[in-house]
Every structure is written in C-alpha cells, then in structure tokens.
Amino acid sequence: MTDETLSNLLTETRTFEPPAELAAHANVKADAYAAAAADHEGFWAEQAQRLTWAEPFTQILDDSSAPFYRWFADGTLNVAYNCVDRHVAAGTGDQVAIHFVGEPGDRRDITYAQLKDEVSRAANALTDLGVTAGDRVAIYLPMIPEAVVSMLACARIGATHTVVFGGFSAEALASRIEDCNAKLVITADGGYRRGSASALKPAVDAALEKVPGVAQHVLVVRRTGQEVAWHDGVDVWWHDAVDGASADHTPEAFTAEHPLFVMYSSGTTGKPKGILHTSGGYLTGTAYTHHAVFDLKPESDVYWCTADVGWITGHSYIVYGPLANGVTQVLYEGTPDSPHKGRWWEIIQDYKVTLFYTAPTAIRTFMKWGRSVPDGYDMSSLRLLGSVGEPINPEAYVWYRSVVGGDRCPVVDTWWQTETGMMMISPLPGVTAGKPGSAMTPLPGVDADVVSEDGVPVPNGSGGYLVLTKPWPAMLRTLLGDDDRFVETYWSKYADQGWYFAGDGAKKDDDGAIWLLGRVDDVMNVSGHRLSTTEIESALVSHPRVAEAAVVGASDETTGQAVVAYVILREGIDGVDGDALVQELRNHVATEIGAIAKPRSIMIVPELPKTRSGKIMRRLLKDVAENRTVGDTTTLADRSIMAALSAQAPRPV
Ligand code: PRX
C-alpha cells in the first residue's frame, strides 16, 4: 500500500451507524464483549454449546504445551452430524440447504434431508474405496454440490480433506497430494467457467504421474460430460460409487482435536504451508462468528458467500459455519460475468438473498462495469453485506454499501486468515458503527492488538504489527509435518509475550479502531488470493532460460496487488525475442503453480538491485513497478542499476 493510500485511509471520517431495526433484533448485543473479556474460556465453552457433542468436554483450553493449544480436547463429536443430521433430527429436513446454480443455468435445490442422504452415500462409498479415519483425501472439484458433499463425507468418516482450488496446476496439485499423502483424489471431468467447459481430470492424471504410488483411487464426478482418459482399477465414477451406495450411515464420534482438514497456503518460502485445522474448536469458532457477524436468522435468511470452496473462506463460511447453523444458502459455480455482467445480481434477485459475502476485488470490478448493471435488478431482499480477503478501500466500501446495499445494509469488513480459521476482527452489525476501510474491533472472544517491533502496544493514532494475544478455538494447530516452521512463523517474533504474529501491518485510529494495511512479509494478495513472492521466483528460475528472478506485488486498481517479475537471463538478452519469452515465462508460472500466479508483467533486466550482502532489495523494485520515484538506494552495492531499471518501463502483456 502506498503512503498516499495510507494517508487517504486515515483521513477517512465517514461512519455508518447500525440500522435501528437490525440493532433491536441483533443476535449478538454489546454485552458480549464484556462477557467474553470477563471469562475468555467460559465464553468459548458457552459458544461450544451451539454444537451437539457425543461426549461433552470437561476441559476447555489446554495450554500446557503452548503454542500447541488444544480446545475441548476430551469432548467428542461428529462434524458432519453437526452440519447435517441434527437439523433433520430437529425437524428442518425439508429446509433447503443449498440452492445450486450452475454456470450454464442448471439449478438444483438440495434440502437438509437430501444432503444427509447424499453425504451418507458418499461416506459409504469412500469407506468402500478403502478410506478410513485418519486417511487423507484430496478434493479438486468445481463449485458444485459434490464439493460440499465430499468434504462432509470425509468429515463424517474422520478422513482429513485437503481441497485444492481448481485454478491450481497439475504441478501444484501433485505437491499437495504428495505432501499430505492423499489416499484418494476426488475430482470431476471438468467444470463450467466463462461459458465453456474447462477440464479438471487431465490435471489429476498428470499429477498422479508425477507422484506415482500415493493415491490409490480417483473418484470422478461427471459434470460437463467431456471426454476423459480412463484408468481402470484407479478411476471410479461418482455416479457408480455414490449413487448406488446406501443412504444409511451411522456417524462415528471423533475427539475434538481430530484433524478435519489441511489447507495449503502460500508462505514466505517456496513451499506452501499445510495449515492444519481440527474439529470441535474450529466448528465452534466458525459457527459462532457466522451467527454473530451475519446476524444469521436461519429460518428466514438466504445467505450467499461467493468464495470458492478451494479457499478457507469457502471452508469456514460456505461449508462448516453456515451448515452447522442450519442456513439456506446459494452455491454458484461460475464467474460474475457469465453469461452477462448482471449474473450475481440476478441470482440475488431470484433467490431473495439477504446476506451477501464477497471480496473487494469483485466489488472494484463491478465498479468498473458501472452501477447501471446492478441498478437493473431488485436487490431489496439484502439486509447485510460482508467483505473479506484484503483491505477494502473506502470508495469500494461506499459503492458496495450504496449501490448494492441501497444505503440500508451495514457492511461488515471481516479480517481473518487461513490460519485463524474464523473471522477475528469485524464489526458486529447490530452494535458497531462501520467506518469505510476499517475492520473495526476484535470480535467478542478475540484479543488482538497493534504493537511495535519490540512488542509494545502502540497508542491510538499509530501503526505497527497486528498480533493476536490470546488463543482462540478455530486457530490452526500446526503446519502439517512441520511443527518447527509453525513455531518459527507465528510464535517466535513475540515468543516472550506468547502472541501470534499475523504478518499484517495495522493502525489504530483515534478511537482505537483497527485499519489493516496489508502484509509485512513477502506474501502478496492478488484478488484476495495469497501468493508468495518466493514461490513465483522459484517457478521462474525453474525455466531453463532464467538465471535469477525477483517478484514483487505492485498495487493494482482492481486486483489489489498484481504480480510483477524481474528476470535475468542465463545467456544474456542478445538476440532474444523479448515478447515471446515473456509470454513463455508467464505460461511457465501458470504450469508450475496455476493461472492465478501468472505475473501481470515481466521485465527482462541485466541486473537486480542488491545490498552489499547480496539481498535483493524488493522495496526498490516495487517503486519501479508502481512508477514511483525510487526510494533510498544508499545500501545498494551498485547504485547505477536502479537508474537503468527505472528507464526500462514494465513490459505490458
Ligand atoms: O493480509 C490479510 C488479508 O488476507 C490475509 C489472509 O489471507 P488468506 O489466508 O488467504 O485468507 C483470506 C480469507 C480470510 C491476511 O493476512 N486479509 C484478509 N481479510 C482482510 C485482509 N486484509 C484486510 N482486510 C480484511 N478484511
């Protein structure tokens, strides 16, 4: 974020009070803050009562081997039972759980009773394929109901799932399958995106070739009907294995700390981190925050979160939190502009969506398309809007509130991370006034602060690092197979205080409200997706022509940040067709990681700015990428390099 944006943010003075009607009937009132502050553990133990436990817990928080915290550890439960069966048992089996909207226009309503049957059949099918509790299952699916069913079927039998976003490449999928030793991969022939069928199964085939002997079976959903290569003995059609399976399945109870899923996320090194979440605490945290922040009234609300289930937002706020709360929700397969730019608003109109959760990057895209698009639809059903994934700039916030929300819906800007599992800093819609651009204050039961480098809380009006000062139930438990990296990444910077280091910069305003300012490490945020500079650099240097690469996140009007790369070639630039090579390198990154990581621009350069100790000065490269006057270069080994780089405009592609 540039200094200019920062000062714009901090001079933002508009505030929006909670709507009186919402405040009067809000699920969570102001007293929740005091109650949670007075008895942190007691507060969370009370929230855990939202769940149905097979065996109640007697201990709330076990901090005896901090930072390896355990929550509700001696309690047992079945997560899928909590998300599905108990609603049927309570008599709401006929309520729609999922209004599915496929991109080509196909629609399916699935009730809780039907979801229970489908999850049970899938659980039986997984068991027949040899999957047992503790095994890992990789899920690589489009946004179709089978994605939700697969996750819940794993949870039901105690298998740990790892959902890999469909935009990741075969290479990225292979490394995740290998890292978590997935016994089964669940995929589809393809999915619909931007009006056409795009294949998924070939990426799974390629991934399994790269890591032979790991996965025993591939369960394939037929979604598009496109041709697929078939491997007898390995590949199994979903409709053969699941449709014919019994809908009777007794869910077994697992301990609260049973691993529920692993979500890979980019860190500051080349290797993605396998973030591990467990069962009872995670479900408590996501169910409570979904209830509190969306003021969810399951009997009357229609909820829609536009995230993909391949990301944490989809896990916590499409699958686990909402279904534990018995929500009725929309699940949409495709893109916002297919077949027309009003697709999302049309869905809101058709299903009378009341609670809507999306990302700032989408809002900025809609702003570019103009208000005449949403103005063509009746969105009077909406009563609350949420934002997630990256800082929301005040203009996007105000546009969202006014154009989408008709100036009547509060906007909740929710700050959290894959690691936190649940929302951490957010307004409570019936309590907290919203300031455009601020996530406001930690939720009840969450303790956060903004502190200096040496761990002193900063006064109001100042900035620093965001830390979480008390454990919370949905926190990550470790990084799969790498406890040391877990401790080092999150708990070493403020080890003396025992605080969790979030990796985000933040500022407290004069009222103590928190404004998130972006990452302070080598992690970029592109369209709300987390990407590591180092991971893209290693993808680039794996190309035979590249000797060295440096990647920075440059601010971008629509995507928040964009990937800008600088590369030095092995054999110099003489005779090189620059444009063709740049294209080749961009495609190479897409193959290695996925299309989401493709650099917006690549500059082929003779040198990179380095300190005398050989460290690349990314700060200076960012200045060039953002067309700013290059900052202080006194620590550079060779100061002439920056003049040469600045003279070379980024190659637009
Ligand atoms: O930098 C913060 C940003 O996204 C990072 C977490 O990314 P990820 O684990 O992929 O999870 C995204 C969905 C929860 C954070 O470290 N971030 C997320 N939400 C916000 C945000 N930055 C500012 N405001 C937010 N509301």
Residues 317-352 have pLDDT tens digits of 999 999 999 999 999 999 999 999 999 999 999 999
Q: Give the residue, by CA position, lying nearest to ligand 1 atom 15.
A: 417
Q: Which of 44-58, 113-127, 266-280, 635-649 has the lowest mean pLDDT?
A: 635-649
> What are the pLDDT digits (tens) for 68-103?
999 999 999 999 999 999 999 999 999 999 999 999
Give the C-alpha separation, 184 to 186, whole Å. 7
> What are the pLDDT digits (tens) for 530-542?
898 989 999 999 9
523 Cα–ligand 1 center, Å: 11
Say what the pLDDT of residue 631 is.
75
Q: Which atom of ligand 1 is nearest to the CA of 502?
A: 16
Q: What's the length of the chain?
A: 653
Instruction: Find out whether the beta carbon of 171 lies less than 6 Å from any atom of ligand 1.
Output: no
416 Cα–ligand 1 center, Å: 5
Q: Who wins on pLDDT, 557 or 275?
A: 275
Q: What is the pTM assigned to this prediction? A: 0.93
Q: Give the residue, by CA position, lying nearest to ligand 1 atom 8.
A: 417
* Whether 137 contacts 185, CB under 8 Å: yes
Which among 36-45, 568-577, 639-648 has the top mean pLDDT? 36-45
Give the C-alpha separation, 604 to 565, whole Å. 9
Give the C-alpha separation, 364 to 368, whole Å. 6
> What are the pLDDT digits (tens) for 131-148?
999 999 999 999 999 999
Q: Which atom of ligand 1 is nearest to the CA of 523?
A: 1
Q: Give the residue, by CA position, lying nearest to ligand 1 atom 18.
A: 389
Instruction: Find out whether the beta carbon of 516 lies less than 6 Å from any atom of ligand 1.
Output: yes
Q: What is the CA radius of gyration of the chain?
A: 24
pLDDT at 649 over 70: no
Q: Give the residue, by CA position, lying nearest to ligand 1 atom 12.
A: 389
Instruction: Find out whether the beta carbon of 439 lies less than 6 Å from any atom of ligand 1.
Output: yes
> What are the pLDDT digits (tens) for 567-597?
999 987 778 888 999 999 999 999 999 999 9
pLDDT at 271 over 90: no
Say what the pLDDT of residue 642 is.
77
* Whether 567 contacts 585, CB under 8 Å: yes
Instruction: Find out whether the beta carbon of 418 lies less than 6 Å from any atom of ligand 1.
Output: yes
Give the C-alpha separation, 191 to 311, whole Å. 17
634 Cα–ligand 1 center, Å: 33
The two beta strands, 273-278 and 259-265, are antiparallel
Instruction: Find out whether the beta carbon of 249 lies less than 6 Å from any atom of ligand 1.
Output: no
| pLDDT mean over 146-167 | 98
Q: Which atom of ligand 1 is nearest to the CA of 423?
A: 14
296 Cα–ligand 1 center, Å: 22
* Whether 518 contacts 525, CB under 8 Å: yes
335 Cα–ligand 1 center, Å: 21
pLDDT at 7 over 60: no
CA distances from 139 to 55, 219, 244 (A): 30, 9, 21
Q: Which atom of ligand 1 is nearest to the CA of 530?
A: 10
| pLDDT mean over 560-570 | 94
165 Cα–ligand 1 center, Å: 17
* Whether 523 contacts 561, CB under 8 Å: no
Say what the pLDDT of residue 1 is.
44
Instruction: Find out whether the beta carbon of 421 lies less than 6 Å from any atom of ligand 1.
Output: no
Instruction: Find out whether the beta carbon of 82 lies less than 6 Å from any atom of ligand 1.
Output: no
Say what the pLDDT of residue 651 is.
45
| pLDDT mean over 356-370 | 96
Give the C-alpha separation, 567 to 607, whole Å. 8
Question: Which is nearest to 249 in space by CA: 147, 155, 111, 140?
Answer: 155
Instruction: Find out whether the beta carbon of 414 lies less than 6 Å from any atom of ligand 1.
Output: yes
pLDDT at 165 over 90: yes
Task: Find how far residue 592's CA is from the centre of its chain.
Answer: 21
575 Cα–ligand 1 center, Å: 43
Please choose from 317, 390, 424, 476 the residue to mutate so as to test ligand 1's pocket, defined by most ligand atoms within 8 A of CB: 390
At 168, give phi and psi (nearest 5°).
Answer: -80, 150
Q: What pairs with residue 553 in β-bridges? A: 563
Both tokens of 642, joined, read 């920056």
Long-range contacts of 633-637 (CB under 8 A, 24+ apart): 633/609, 635/611, 636/609, 636/610, 636/611, 637/610, 637/611, 637/612
Give the C-alpha separation, 148 to 633, whole Å. 51
Task: Provide CB contacts within 8 A for 367, sequence distance 6+.
Answer: 395, 396, 399
- 88 sits in which H/E element: helix 86-89
Instruction: Find out whether the beta carbon of 391 lies less than 6 Å from any atom of ligand 1.
Output: yes
CA distances from 517 to 9, 133, 331, 443, 623 (A): 9, 41, 31, 19, 17
% of the chain surpassing 70 pLDDT: 97
Say what the pLDDT of residue 436 is.
96
Q: Give the residue, by CA position, lying nearest to ligand 1 atom 3.
A: 390
Q: Which atom of ligand 1 is nearest to the CA of 307?
A: 13
Token pair 């991971």: residue: 535
* Whether 479 contacts 276, CB under 8 Å: yes
Both tokens of 580, joined, read 């063709």
Q: Which atom of ligand 1 is nearest to the CA of 387?
A: 26
> Mean pLDDT over all residues of the chain?
94
The two beta strands, 96-101 and 329-332, are parallel
Q: Which of 232-236, 329-333, 399-403, 577-581 has the lowest mean pLDDT?
A: 577-581
Strands, E assignment, 10-142 = 61-62, 70-71, 76-77, 96-101, 107-111, 136-140
Instruction: Find out whether the beta carbon of 397 lies less than 6 Å from any atom of ligand 1.
Output: no
pLDDT at 272 over 90: no
| Binding residue positions for Mg(2+) | 541, 543, 546
Say what the pLDDT of residue 6 is.
53
